[in-house]
A and B are shown apart, each in its own frame.
Chain A
Amino acid sequence: MISIKNLSKVFRTDEIETLALNDVNLNIKEGEFVAIMGPSGCGKSTLLNILGLLDNPSEGEYNFNQTEVANLKEGQRTDLRKGNIGFVFQSFNLIDELNVFENVEMPLVYQRISSKKRKEMVSQVLDRMNMSHRAKHYPQQLSGGQQQRVAIARAVVSNPGLILADEPTGNLDSKNGQEVMELLTELNREGTTIIMVTHSMKDAGYAHRIINLFDGKVVTEESLVAEQVF
């Protein structure tokens, strides 16, 4: 599904040049659950953003679903992202002015899906997340765990093949954190590829594979399950 070769990312300000990713090579198969770990500033988020087509690499190749995407324009990246990639953030990133239903509905609106169909899809996913009774509530009326469930609902509502999660449990207590991790595992079991950035060894334990980044480089890769699973 994802194949990255010699990928680098450089951030430039007026005077300073920072090498965020340095010659990264990575392959992720469909259906995999990958955790990316590493200390602060090692380039985890940068890698996730490039994988999620939010940013272009400075150098290298990125093959996503058999398409070379390393040098796409913003509009093309957006089109490719729609319906294919879902995002989950540490701080949930729900929109305060929209209620739960509207927050979840948002990706579908941009995919030009009819309102009737949208209603159906949102109801379905909220049911699944056990949030149907909260459809008319606003984010600030929900607990952290509930907010993250809504965010996951938003990420999966259009049935994307890939979910990118940036420290999804970072703002949650352990009980809620565990619930979120179980939800992600379940999605993965149903076939969704998941790439997750995390600091927590415990969360990383849910993944099939852990990639350790340090100073923009992949230092180790460890497999947590037998190869034959795939």
Chain B
Amino acid sequence: MISKHLKSFLIHLWNNKLYSAITILGFSISLMFILLLSVYIKNEYGVDEFHEKKDRIFRLTHGKDAGFAPPSGALLMETFPDVENFTRTKYYEAYLQANGSSKVADNILFADSSFFNIFSFGMIEGNPRTALKTIGSAVLSKSLALKLFGELPELGSKIKMNDETSLEVTGVMEDIPSNTHFKKFGMIINFPTMAKVFNDDTFLNKYSHNSYGLYVLTKPKTNLSSKANEIFELYKGVNWMFKGGYAKSVELEPITESYFSTSHAYEVKNKSKRFVQVLTGIIFLILTLSVINYVNLTIAQSSFRSREVAIRKLIGGKKPGLLAASLMESILLSLISSIIAIALSFQVEPIFNHLLETNIQIINELNLSNLLIAIGFIVLIGILSGIIPAIKISNFNPIDVVKGKFRMKEKNVYSKIMICFQYLIIITLIISAFFINKQTTFMQNYKMGFEQENLITFENALPKEKQRSFEEILRNIPGVEDVCLTCGTPLDGGNNNCFTEKGKQYSFQVFRVDTNFFEILDIPVSKTGTAYDKEAILINEAAAKILNIEENPGEYELFDVWPIYGVVKNFHFRNLKSRLGPAYFKILPKDEYAWSFVVKMNGVNNQETLQRIHKAHNDFTDGTPVKINFFNQAVQSWYEKEERTGKIVKYFAILTVIISVMGLFAMSLYYVQQKQKEIGVRKVNGAKTHEIMHMLNYDFSIWVLIAFAIACPISYYSMHKWLENFAYKTELSWWVFAIAGILAFGIAFITVSWQSWRAAKRNPVESLRYE
């Protein structure tokens, strides 16, 4: 019986290709997003779940920060018998060289020998218990090992770090997976080795530096968390940071929550839990919208099938059987859509990964347990979306249907509110996407006040004695126009200096630069007329204003000793989220260490020039890796986050448009069916096609207008809030609201008109004939 029914359903789908395509495709697209987002969220919540002892591992934090002094761990273990073990961590950037290999830059984690005992990172070679026991011992990740040695090295092989520290390979581990809160690192080095690197024997016993991560493994069946106060008191007795009230508490954070932690540490990824929650909300929103759409579409369609159902009933079909058959249909549709959704997911995966900066792989999720969950989900969705139409269909009164009296009749206020709600979301998203894009473009095109083209910068990896000779080498490279050394560029923002001047507090940025800095960056300087002397400084216009010396800066001396030699035209040395502030500039003495080189190229063949610079650097430093930053790219990259947010909002807007177009299409189909008699009567009484269309479209237009009226203040408010993040912001122009409104209205109008035009064109005789 069921199979017969399904056969007739498939024939029905085939005969109504438009309806079938819309239903299935709409469902598939929604399910695709749900699938991708679910996998993403599952991964996010699954971070650090792989540690076998995860229930006993805690990260120590104190408020917004999570840095502790090196002796803190040992003290904890001595005092509290609950502690089974601990490890300290420190993230560090370095370049490494194996015997004869080229230098490779990578991130390094310093950690105690207990690291592999506490965490479950896989070891390929070496003994996890002893690998990090001795000073200078290092466990390489597989990929770094291959980079340095070309193959898995023998234990005991030697590595040189930063041309100074000698390390011994005592193990090789699997690359650290992405589902841990630790940032990626290529190697772990025994923690006490740091004392050697820093050239400070007392380092391990001092409480002066609180910037090291601290993790503890508690003994089974203990509750160290309840002793957080005692730990705090313990540290208060020994550490200035706790004593002085700079750290006001100690918390024990379960390792599985560290990923979403609000306590900052450099070696840890911090993900916003709110973001993941918002995405979870989005899943339910998409699911609700698409299920409601399916219900609307099926009910709209059901009167076309009412005759079949009626005849089945007349010849003895029982209600439960019909109900079951109806549910089978929706489950089948849900199944077909899911298969298409999975196929689509593979296509969309790369875009999705790019947008959310993640690396999910659907293929890895195809296992038996997930398959069972998916089947359960498909059946559930099928039942959820099928139950209302099923009840409706099985309740048809067969006599009415066969006699032709049957008409779907219902006040569909709820569906219209649904549509209003969908359009509210659509319009809000379109407006937001527009403004986020507008602000991003605004910032990208903003005149920063300094030259960005043909300019590059890179860190100075040389000792100060050698930096000036390398400057000369750079100058002699064909294609290089000019070079300067600096401590502070517009890209890094220089140093901060807070000081008191004549009783007032000031916060200035400080740049120490070569004299040609301003010329290279094309920043105008007006001289004050004060004769140059060794102590002289330049200030920017903002500084002149804040010091209230705009009239006669030349007569002023900062701290009564630094005469002001010139005033620099304001330029932005931070991204546009922060306001341009005061700054002063000192000339960098030739023999002082500079942070970085700034090179101006002539723009003729930059690629070749760059290669020459790389080669010169390589030759001069014996292969130390160098990372060259382009000024223009670096400035653009300040707004990557905004660009990505804009894209996510845009894609989500497109998705809701797709879902709602289908919903509206279904609604208008349904609505027009109900209005068939009225349309006929009106046409008989002299209504023309356009008048009928006006009548049919009017109703929907009103709801879209209501949605627009609600969306405007909501999006105005939220965009206003968002723009508060930026010191320099684009205008909240009225035309963006207008465009969003017109766009949403146009989409709704076209969707509804598709149906209403057909209905209005129909010969009224047809709709009145069977009355």
Contacts and interface: CB of A to CB of B under 8 A. Distances in A.
Contacts of B763: 54-55
B686 A78 contact: yes
B729 to A, nearest CB: 49
A45 B684 contact: no
B689 to A, nearest CB: 7
Given A54-B765, A110-B691, A93 B771 contact: yes
A159 B718 CA distance: 59
B673 to A, nearest CB: 15
Interface stretch (A81-89, A127-135, A204-212): A81-89
A223 to B, nearest CB: 30
Interface string A146-167: 0000000010000000000000
B688 interface: yes
A54 B763 CA distance: 7
A91 B768 CA distance: 9
A169 B691 CA distance: 31
Interface stretch (B120-128, B134-142, B327-335, B675-683): B675-683
B447 interface: no
A106 B689 contact: no
Contact of A93 (B677, B687, B691, B761): B677
Nearest to B688: A78
A105 B684 CA distance: 14
Contacts of B689: 74-75
Interface in B728-771: 761, 763-765, 768-769, 771
B202 interface: no
Contacts of A93: 677, 680-681, 684, 768, 771
A54 B688 contact: no
A75 B768 CA distance: 19
Contacts of B769: 45
Contacts of A58: none
Contacts of B686: 78, 81-83, 107, 110-111
Nearest to A155: B685
Contacts of A106: 681-682, 685
A116 B682 CA distance: 21
Interface in A62-108: 74-75, 78, 81-83, 87, 89-91, 93-95, 97, 106-107
B681 A78 contact: no
B765 A154 contact: no
A154 B681 CA distance: 11
A49 B681 contact: no
A81 B682 CA distance: 12
B155 to A, nearest CB: 82
A90 to B, nearest CB: 8
Contact of A87 (B685, B761, B771): B685
Contact of B678 (A49, A82, A95): A95
Contact of B688 (A49, A75, A87): A75
Interface in A175-222: none
Contacts of A55: 763, 765
Most chain A beta carbons < 10 A, residue from B685, B686, B687: B685
A110 B765 contact: no
B678 A110 contact: no
Contacts of A97: 678
Contact of A49 (B682, B761, B765, B771): B765
B771 A89 contact: yes
A110 B687 contact: yes
Interface in B683-713: 683-689, 691
Contacts of A91: 771
Given A54-B763, A95-B678, A107 B768 contact: no
A97 B409 CA distance: 12
B348 to A, nearest CB: 41
A151 B761 CA distance: 24
A113 to B, nearest CB: 11
Contacts of B684: 52, 54, 81, 87, 93
B678 A107 contact: no
B600 to A, nearest CB: 73
Contacts of B761: 74
A80 B678 CA distance: 21
Contacts of A110: 682, 685-688, 691
B764 A54 contact: yes
A53 to B, nearest CB: 10
A45 B766 CA distance: 11
Nearest to A53: B684
Contacts of B764: 54
A111 to B, nearest CB: 6
Contacts of A82: 686
Contacts of A78: 683, 686-688
Contacts of A111: 686
A118 to B, nearest CB: 13
A87 B765 CA distance: 12
A89 B681 CA distance: 10
A94 B681 CA distance: 8
B771 A154 contact: no
Nearest to B681: A93
A147 to B, nearest CB: 13
Nearest to A157: B685
A94 B677 CA distance: 9
B685 A107 contact: yes
A156 to B, nearest CB: 12
A41 to B, nearest CB: 12
B768 A154 contact: no
A83 B761 CA distance: 21
A74 B763 CA distance: 9
Interface of B: 677-678, 680-689, 691, 761, 763-765, 768-769, 771
Interface of A: 45, 49, 52, 54-55, 74-75, 78, 81-83, 87, 89-91, 93-95, 97, 106-107, 110-111, 154
20 contacts: A45-B769, A49-B765, A54-B684, A55-B763, A55-B765, A74-B761, A75-B688, A75-B689, A81-B686, A82-B686, A89-B768, A91-B771, A93-B677, A93-B681, A93-B768, A93-B771, A95-B682, A110-B686, A110-B688, A154-B685
- What are the nearest 7 A-B pairs in CB distance? A110-B686, A82-B686, A91-B771, A107-B685, A49-B765, A93-B681, A95-B678
Given A75-B688, A78-B687, 20 more contacts: A45-B769, A52-B684, A54-B763, A55-B763, A74-B689, A78-B688, A81-B684, A81-B686, A82-B686, A83-B686, A89-B768, A89-B771, A90-B771, A93-B680, A94-B681, A95-B677, A106-B681, A107-B685, A110-B682, A110-B686
